[in-house]
Amino acid sequence: MGKRTVSVNDRARQMLAQEAARIIVEQGIQDFRLAKTKAAERLGLSGRGSLPGNSEIQDAVSEHLKLFGRESHLNLLQMMRRAALSAMEILSPFNPRLVGPVLNGTAATNSAVNLHVFSDTPELIAMKLDEQQMTYKAYERRLKSRRDQAETFAGFRFLHDESSIEATVFPVDGMRQAPISPVDGRPMKRADHSAVRMLLDEDV
């Protein structure tokens, strides 16, 4: 009986992860917790023990894109990575780094290109965008700098090469320590210009 219970729970987690992944890809939801809640409601599954972890959701998103996207997903990823490179060139004085779905390959149509830029004065990024005659909107993002500590960071959202770019501003010394990823609880992976260029070359 115990083995059957485990099997049922595992299947429920798998179903929830797949449905949450579908919601994330089709609706552009970036909040994994919200996606899991919606998936549980749709499938009529509740109970904290059945909810998959964020890393399971990310794996399911990757599988969903490979299964249903294939070549179109690769083309989308290449386009967004090219947009990231171009935006990184514009923001090169601020040591931009690519993070998130466009870096790890799980970006969907509704995903933004997430950049981390570094300046003790966020207004300097706004001035650079003004200089390039780019229309942008300011935003604030709360990120965990350590497991038990969150901070609010300024950011700027703008459209570039048909992609939505979100550049979150960290102090210069923030380059040493990336914020904690909500997916796996580890420091976010960051890629500089040359690393993104290598990714693009590998995709060809």
Query: Domain segments of the chain: what residues?
Result: 2-68, 71-203
- Is the four-CA dihedral 45, 106, 177, 86 of positive or negative sign? negative
pLDDT the model gives residue 69:
63
The burial class, CB within 10 Å (0-12 / 13-18 / 19+), for 41 is exposed
Does position 4 have pLDDT exceeding 50, yes or no?
Answer: no
Question: How much is the pTM?
Answer: 0.75
Looking from the CA of 135 toward its CB, the CA atoms found within 13 Å total 3
Q: Please identify, in words, the CATH class of the domain defined by 71-203.
A: alpha beta
Residue entry with tokens 């599954």: 45
Does position 58 have pLDDT exceeding 90, yes or no?
Answer: no
DSSP string computed for 46-80? --GGGPPPHHHHHHHHHHHHHHHTTHHHHHHHHHH
Q: Provide the 3-class DSSP secondary structure of residue 117.
A: strand
* Per-residue model confidence as pLDDT tens digits over 165-189: 999 999 999 999 899 987 778 899 9
pLDDT range class, residue 161, cuts 50, 70, 90: very high
pLDDT range class, residue 26, cuts 50, 70, 90: confident
Distances (CA, A) of 168 to 40, 84, 132, 145: 32, 13, 18, 13
Distances (CA, A) of 140 to 75, 152, 157, 181: 30, 6, 10, 17
